[in-house]
Amino acid sequence: MAKEIVKKITLQIPAGRATPAPPVGTVLGPAGINLQDFCTKYNDATKDKMGDIAPVVITIYDDRSFDFVVKTPPTPSLIKKYAKVQKGSVKGSKEIVGSLTEEQVKEIATIKLPDLNANSLEAAIKTVKGTALNMGIEIK
């Protein structure tokens, strides 16, 4: 007999740095799962992505067991990382705060492709370019 899903929770946690303290503890504590167990498993699964934000979808079952799936980092955080900027423009595309090359955009799109609703790499590249332009990052 299959376990019944009680709740699905999505969090964005720095890779390899989950602790039972907030925000993880405040969200997962009421769900009744073992926080230290989750943090250990999450940190082991994301230790190769240190420095990135790693979204995670946690599925909690009726017997208080859980599974989780680690997603790719959010597109804006990858763009900021590759463009070497702290934050995007507050004025959107009207203010340029950094730049990316076509090759960097392709690399970001390749990383994001599994989690985007794009059918091809070209469509993923267009999505990444649109996000970058809205952040004030020009494409060279």
Record the pTM.
Answer: 0.78
Average pLDDT over residues 26-34: 87
Q: What are the sequence ranges of the domains in the chain?
A: 5-70, 75-139
∠ CA 108-112-114 to the nearest 5 degrees?
Answer: 145
Residue 1 pLDDT grade (very low, low, confident, very high; cuts 50, 70, 90): low
Judged on CB neighbours under 10 Å (0-12, 13-18, 19+), 124 is buried
Distance CA 137, CA 88 (A): 7
As a dihedral over the C-alpha atoms of residue 83, residue 85, residue 88, residue 89, rounded to 10 degrees, the angle is -100
Same fold: 5-70 with 75-139: no
- CB-CB contact of 103 with 57 (8 Å): no
The per-residue pLDDT for range 68-120, each reduced to its tens digit, is 999 888 888 888 888 888 887 788 778 888 888 899 999 999 988 888 888 88
**CATH code for residues 5-70:** 3.30.1550.10
In CATH, 75-139 is 3.90.1150.10: no
